[in-house]
């Protein structure tokens, strides 16, 4: 899973799988779910993210993470 924030557009993309998106559905204003060909969720796009989320804090609880990578 990858979290990508784009400050120029104030959007956050949560990349859940390394598969291409085949369909996108806006589930609420500015929140789009990307699905693969089989209907699995591959990503979440959030527009105006700073007004919808607390972006300066990230808490990981009990995730079975084998690798952590922090990039600025």
**Tens-level pLDDT at each residue, the chain (72 residues):** 999 999 999 999 999 999 999 999 999 999 999 999 999 999 999 999 999 999 998 888 888 888 877 776
Q: Measured between alpha carbons, how far is 6 from 31 in angstroms, rounded to an integer? A: 15
Per-residue pLDDT at 64: 86
Q: Length of the chain in residues, anyone?
A: 72
> Cβ(44)–Cβ(14) under 8 Å?
yes
């Amino acid at each position: 899973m990858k979290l990508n924030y784009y400050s120029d557009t104030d959007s956050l993309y949560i990349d859940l799988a390394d598969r291409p998106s085949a369909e996108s559905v806006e589930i609420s204003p500015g929140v789009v779910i990307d699905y693969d060909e089989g209907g699995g969720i591959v990503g979440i796009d959030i527009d105006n993210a700073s007004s919808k989320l607390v972006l300066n804090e990230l808490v990981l609880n009990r995730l079975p993470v084998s690798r952590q990578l922090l990039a600025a």
